Amino acid sequence: MKLNVDGLLVYFPYDYIYPEQFSYMLELKRALDAKGHCLLEMPSGTGKTTTLLSLIVAYMKAHPLDLTKLVYCSRTVPEIEKVMEELRKLMNYYEKEMGMEQNILGLALSSRKNLCIHPSVSKEREGKVVDGRCYSLTASFVRARHAADDAVPICDFYEGFDAHGKEFPLPPGVYNLDDLKEYGQMKRWCPYFLARHTIIHANIVVYSYHYLLDPKIAEVVSKEISKTSVVVFDEAHNIDNVCIDSMSVKITKRLLDKCSNSITILETTISNMKENDSKRLEKEYKRLVEGLRDATIARETDMALVNPVLPSEVLEEAVPGTIRTAEHFIAFLKRVVEYIKTRLRVQQVVQESPAGFLRDIHTKVCIDRKPLRFTAERLASLIRTLEISDLTDFSPLVTVSHFATLVSTYTKGFTIIIEPFEDRAPTVSNPILYFSCLDSSIAIKPVFNRFQTVVITSGTLSPLDMYPKILDFHPVIMTSFTMTLARPCILPMIVSKGNDQVAMSSRYETREDTAVIRNYGNLLVEVAAAVPDGIVCFFTSYLYLETIVSSWYDQGIIDQLQRHKLLFIETQDAAETSLALINYIKACDNGRGAVLLSVARGKVSEGIDFDHHLGRAVLMFGIPYVYTQSRILRARLEYLRDQFQIRENDFLTFDAMRHAAQCLGRCMRGKTDYGIMVLADKRFSRADKRSKLPKWIQEHLKDTNCNLSTEECVQICKRWLRQMAQPFSREDQLGISLLTLEQLQSEEMQKKIQQRAQGV
Amino acid sequence: MDDYQTCPKCKTTKYRNPAMVLMVNTCGHALCESCVELLFAKGSGACPECKCPLRRNNFRVQLFEDPAVDKEVDIRKRILKEFNKRQEDFPTLREYNDYLEEVETIIFNLVFDIDPTNTNKMIDNYKKENKDITQKNRNRQSQEEMELEELLEAEKAQQSEKANLYVNAELEEKKQKHKAREKLIDELMFSDADAKSIVASHVQATAALAKEQPKAAAQPGVVKSSKFSSGVQIGLRGQHTNSFLPIPKQEDLPLYRYTAPVFDYDGPPPPPIEKLGKLNYFANIRAANITERAGGYTEAMSCCRALQEALGGLFYSPQLMHKTAVLATNSSTQDTDDMETT
């Protein structure tokens, strides 16, 4: 249908629209008009992706000069594929309505592993190996060698792309990963480099977060994306952790040993080269003396090593004299690695600021800050000069060089923690150096600065006001949308006590209490008896899950449970978990019914949807707080408190509640779906926790359902399930939660939508 | 982790003898402590590996896994004591970098024993030529070091201050909560008022407190630095011209209600402006012409103003005036006193 959103003609590829989708468009349009950033929360299953795409595409068509490109960042490959499907639907609709080919090019980009079509390289399983082998076939010096000697293998697909691909841009259309591969096969061009080349002029790019947030990758891939783009981060409730991970480094003893090995390799290669071909080293040396930035860095295939974020004024400076020649640099690296080794030889935990580290490295091994800053850059240049084609062995050394560069660049917002052993196994010596980023705004800052509009959206972003604080930006729009429903299809309840009136809580003091564990068990058994099909349970940690299951076993609860449903458990092993999931789905599909025990923050809670009969009820046993004794977390909390005035407890509760909401949201994936959400912990009913749940859940959480016992909960469930089991057709929804164009345009509805927009 | 460290002479390993300590001398070859005592009983001897003459006094505990690094660091420290020119001592960065490389080459040569005669000559030459600068620089911290020191100092100061502040604030808050709760219970027990109203007032009071709290917490806030240490700007401030302030959030304040201002004329009230025409005041006033009317002026305005001025202050009592005058003089004398004392 064709909509009029605040004066903008929007083609929407479906015949019906949800009212909240329309409000979402209104808000999004405002943000685009204001050229500012925005933060939008809308429940999962209400068609966020379509809404975003159709509005932004319409805006691009209406204002081609103000908005040139859409960069859509998602988390996983399946999610990227889903976005591409929606986009294809939208473009088909445009074509049908306007009757001509649309001049819009949209494509997905993923790693080489997912895009490679080289007959042998694409067989590799591991991403790093594919990257390494691709590099060994396409690096500029390999190709130069091939020109001299035909025996040196190269990649025909890359050659094909290099010879012809650049002159012929991809014709307009929508390309997902498979389409790109097919097109590459047909033309015999490398799809990966074709895609990377095409991003520059594509209108819509869909890829993973890392291409934009990880400074090491962003530099190469996303450098040339213009300012007038809109960037969308979908499923962005964990965006701060992604930012932090992309800037943090973890160094173990094994990694350092590998570093020593690779340094020896470098050393021998240098001495070989000195004997055979000293010209090249001299050339590199001269370039470094002149302080010219590498001209070859622009060459797209040599991207394997890049510099982490450095201010440009530093990069323009010449490499300091201490590490200019190759041998000196090798000696320098040796000292750095040996120094870190000595630091790892600690008996107790050490926490240090980067400034303290720099001073110590200066006194111990006489290394100044400035050469340290150039380590990553210098190493990249050296490896390129030495023409080493197998890069996989050097990744430990690259990690250390990144660490050196980062530690000397940023003295604020980072901390160094050296732990001699893990907390769980204090007798096994396993020293690890964590260089941990505390400030999530550092990695995302360039994105906010560079692009005119950044949209952060997810099904669960509550409480909204925390994100601008921890990411340090000013949103122009910050809105949470609720779901309009024709029937109350979610039933959130807080169960605080068992039938024996013992309070249920996963508090540290009571979590080992058998009464609490038994009550949790009884709750699950009774819910399993009342609820049909699939039930998903979330625990606060793997450890807690295991202790509870073992004592349920002793108490006979497992037996009782198995009388009603089959039982599946998530483990830390990914393969095991996916097998359990497949069988869980099978059990639900054939009507046997099943219970899945899983962990908040685990794989199941993040990426897997339990729609319809796969998840009729979600039980959250306890509040999923993070492990608060972790030193990295403590350091981050302290930093947040000092820099952003966020209190420890506020952040911990925020983090716990967003994960709880994420778990609860698993069972609702659409308006025809229905599900029970049980929060089994006394503490959920407190105002500070309750108010942090997303609006669309809070709306249905009545005061009467906030302090229930097991029995009451089951009674309510039964009544509600009977109501939900009534036939429900589209006609019931029409006019309330599903609108035709006429209904949308009716005055009454417009008024309601206006009210909703202002109400938030 | 160092279990495989072995003494090259007696082949003891760290695994078999955890108390073993490896030592290194200027040549960069390791020996365990007991071997050192055995071989160098006289105070000097030859290194069992490279046969170069060594003194016992020069043995130090090996810090690094690779004894060659120990040796290098040793030499480096010695050389850098002499070669301590700073970037400020050179006219261009290029020359400074050349100098750094030269130093590096000297160290490299010494470590690997390349061309020792020439290298030593170079060192001696340098020593002679640059005596003054070397001396001067020894007592001077480099800019970089100073920066680091400063940062460390700031960190320390901040930490101790902050820790106390927040701990106290949190304790205070807990106490207050506790107090409030006890108060509520007391009231519920002893007062005769309706329980509902007591609870309601309690809720209000806590809400008011909660509103105050964030302000109090924000006050001791640090001055946020606008730059990272690397010189990159934090946040959007300054750099980005089209950044926007957030839309102010609507707070739940009571609605604004207009109340007419009350004037104290110190005299009889002047007639209201609407009635001036009726009371025939305009007779004495020049009527506004067309151009004046176009600008929104009416004769009523000036008439009303004249009346207010005429009547204002008619009942004015001088006593009040006297009081304020006295006050004024007092404060002025105080001022002058202050001036004198300072």
Report the amino acid identity of residue A1: M
Read off the tokens for A719.
């009544």
Q: At what angle do helices A631-644 and A648-664 cross, to 10 degrees?
A: 110
3-state class (DSSP) for residue A99 = coil
A317 and chain B: CB distance < 8 Å anywhere? Answer: yes
> Please, what is the average pLDDT of chain A?
87
A579 and chain B: CB distance < 8 Å anywhere? Answer: no
What secondary structure does DSSP assign to A500-519, as a single string? T-PBP---TTTTT-HHHHHH
Which of A215, A219, A173, A178 has the alpha carbon at shortest distance from A198?
A173
B14 and chain A: CB distance < 8 Å anywhere? Answer: no
Of B149, B217, B228, the CB nearest to A645: B217
Read off the tokens for A559.
């037996």
- Report how far residue B245's alpha carbon sits from residue A611's, in angstroms, rounded to the nearest whole number: 40
Give the residue from A642, A648, A686 with the most B CB atoms within 10 Å of its CB, the best one to mutate. Answer: A642
- Report how far residue B285's alpha carbon sits from residue B275's, in angstroms, rounded to the nearest whole number: 15
In B, which residues are within 8 Å of A260 by CB distance? 66
Which residue would you say has higher pLDDT here, A427 or A591? Answer: A591
- Report how far residue A26's alpha carbon sits from residue B50's, in angstroms, rounded to the nearest whole number: 81
Q: Are strands A8-11 and A69-74 parallel, antiparallel or unpaired?
A: unpaired
Of A328, A409, A429, the CB nearest to B104: A328
pLDDT at position A531 is: 94
3-state class (DSSP) for residue A251 = strand
A645 burial via Cβ count (<10 Å: 0-12, 13-18, 19+): middle
Read off the tokens for A558.
């497992």
Which residue would you say has higher pLDDT here, A375 or A731? Answer: A375
Q: Do A449 and B234 touch (CB under 8 A)?
A: no
Nearest chain B residue to A409, by CA: B230
- Report how far residue A414's alpha carbon sits from residue B160's, in angstroms, rounded to the nearest whole number: 19
pLDDT at position A619 is: 95
Whether A307 has a pLDDT exceeding 50, the answer reads no
Number of H helices, E strands in chain A: 35, 21
Report the amino acid identity of residue A129: V
What are the pLDDT digits (tens) for A157-202? 988 888 888 888 888 899 999 999 999 999 889 999 999 888 888 8
pLDDT at position B320 is: 54
pLDDT at position A756 is: 66
- Report how far residue B82's alpha carbon sits from residue B69's, in angstroms, rounded to the nearest whole number: 20
**CA angle A407-A376-A274, nearest 5°?**
140
pLDDT at position B237 is: 42
Place of tokens 């590199």: A284
Whether A543 has a pLDDT exceeding 80, the answer reads yes
In A, which residues are within 8 Å of B166 by CB distance? 641
Whether A309 has a pLDDT exceeding 70, the answer reads no
pLDDT at position B3 is: 58
Nearest chain A residue to B78, by CA: A366
Read off the tokens for A466.
């925390």
The phi, psi pair for A380, rounded to 5°, reads -60, -45
Which of A191, A242, A175, A227 has the alpha carbon at shortest distance from A450?
A227
B251 burial via Cβ count (<10 Å: 0-12, 13-18, 19+): exposed
What are the pLDDT digits (tens) for A87-144? 999 999 999 988 887 888 999 999 888 999 998 888 888 888 888 888 888 888 888 8
Nearest chain B residue to A454, by CA: B243
What are the pLDDT digits (tens) for A69-87? 999 999 888 889 999 999 9
Peptide bond into A532 cis (omega under 30): no
- Report how far residue A688's alpha carbon sits from residue A662's, in angstroms, rounded to the nearest whole number: 18
Q: Work out the minimum CA distance from A67 to partner chain B, whole angstroms.
A: 15
How does A71-80 read in b/e, with b if 16+ C-beta sit within 10 Å?
bbbbbebebb
B166 and chain A: CB distance < 8 Å anywhere? Answer: yes
Q: At what angle do helices A375-386 and A253-276 cross, to 10 degrees?
A: 50
Peptide bond into A463 cis (omega under 30): yes
Q: What is the pTM of this model?
A: 0.79
What are the pLDDT digits (tens) for A412-454? 889 999 998 877 777 788 899 999 999 998 888 888 988 899 9
Asked if A486 and A700 count as a contact pair (C-beta separation under 8 A), the reply is no
Asked if A495 and A678 count as a contact pair (C-beta separation under 8 A), the reply is yes
Read off the tokens for A315.
């990069």
Of A341, A366, A409, the CB nearest to B64: A341
pLDDT at position B229 is: 52
- Report how far residue A628's alpha carbon sits from residue A541's, in angstroms, rounded to the nearest whole number: 12
Q: How many C-beta neighbours within 10 Å does residue A213 have?
A: 23
Which residue would you say has higher pLDDT here, A426 or A694? Answer: A694
Q: Work out the minimum CA distance from A400 to partner chain B, whole angstroms.
A: 17
- The gap between the terminal CA atoms of chain B, to the nearest Å, is 70
A612 and chain B: CB distance < 8 Å anywhere? Answer: no
pLDDT at position A430 is: 86
Q: Work out the minimum CA distance from A410 to partner chain B, whole angstroms.
A: 6
A706 and chain B: CB distance < 8 Å anywhere? Answer: no
A645 and chain B: CB distance < 8 Å anywhere? Answer: yes
Low-confidence ranges of chain B (pLDDT < 70): 1-3, 210-255, 319-342
Place of tokens 């202002």: A758
Tell me which residues of chain B, numbers 94 to 113, contact chain A at a CB-CB cutoff of 8 Å: 94, 96-105, 108, 111
Nearest chain A residue to B105, by CA: A328
Whether A360 has a pLDDT exceeding 80, the answer reads yes
Write the CA distances from A404 to A22, A312, A410, A514, A757, integer angstroms. 50, 17, 10, 50, 49
How confident is residue A306, by pLDDT bands cut at 50, 70 and 90?
A: very low
What are the pLDDT digits (tens) for B168-203? 888 898 898 899 889 888 888 888 778 888 888 888
Read off the tokens for B118.
């020439």
In A, which residues are within 8 Å of B103 by CB distance? 321-322
Q: How many angstroms from the chain centroid is the CA of residue A739? A: 33
For the ranges A280-289, A640-649, A653-662, the one whose mean pLDDT is highest? A653-662
Of A317, A325, A335, the CB nearest to B69: A335
Asked if A609 and A76 count as a contact pair (C-beta separation under 8 A), the reply is no
pLDDT at position B243 is: 45
The set of residues, in sequence order, having a beta carbon less than 8 Å from that of A692 and lying 6+ positions away, is A462, A463, A653, A654, A657, A658
Of A319, A412, A429, the CB nearest to B228: A412
In A, which residues are within 8 Å of B243 by CB distance? 36, 474
B156 and chain A: CB distance < 8 Å anywhere? Answer: no
A-to-B residue pairs, Cβ atoms closer than 8 angstroms: 150
What are the pLDDT digits (tens) for A477-508? 999 888 888 888 899 999 999 999 999 998 88
pLDDT at position B137 is: 82
Number of H helices, E strands in chain B: 10, 5
Q: How many C-beta neighbours within 10 Å does residue A172 have?
A: 15
Of A36, A338, A641, the CB nearest to B69: A338
Q: How many C-beta neighbours within 10 Å does residue A87 have?
A: 27
- The torsion defined by the Cα of A142, A145, A151 and A152, in degrees rounded to 10, comes to -10
Q: Do A359 and B152 touch (CB under 8 A)?
A: yes
pLDDT at position A11 is: 92
Q: How many C-beta neighbours within 10 Å does residue A480 have?
A: 19
Give the residue from A282, A312, A374, A445 with the most B CB atoms within 10 Å of its CB, the best one to mutate. Answer: A445
Asked if A653 and B169 count as a contact pair (C-beta separation under 8 A), the reply is no
Place of tokens 């908040």: A600
Residues linked to residue B60 through DSSP beta bridges, in sequence order: B24
In A, which residues are within 8 Å of B227 by CB distance? none
Of B65, B108, B244, the CB nearest to A328: B108
Tell me which residues of chain B, numbers 67 to 96, contact chain A at a CB-CB cutoff of 8 Å: 68-69, 72-73, 76-77, 80, 93-94, 96
The phi, psi pair for A37, rounded to 5°, reads -90, 155
Q: Whats the size of chain A, residue-wise?
A: 760
Asked if A531 and A617 count as a contact pair (C-beta separation under 8 A), the reply is yes
* Dihedral sign (CA A663, A669, A671, A672): negative
Which residue would you say has higher pLDDT here, A757 or B131? Answer: B131
Asked if A24 and A232 count as a contact pair (C-beta separation under 8 A), the reply is no
Q: At what angle do helices A253-276 and A326-344 cross, to 10 degrees?
A: 170
- The gap between the terminal CA atoms of chain A, to the nearest Å, is 27
In B, which residues are within 8 Å of A642 by CB distance? 158, 162, 222
What are the pLDDT digits (tens) for A235-249? 898 899 999 998 899
B32 DSSP assignment: E
ipTM (interface pTM):
0.77
Of B230, B235, B246, the CB nearest to A409: B230
Asked if A11 and A94 count as a contact pair (C-beta separation under 8 A), the reply is yes
- Report how far residue A25's alpha carbon sits from residue A756's, in angstroms, rounded to the nearest whole number: 13
Q: Do B230 and A321 touch (CB under 8 A)?
A: no
Nearest chain B residue to A336, by CA: B69
Report the amino acid identity of residue B76: R
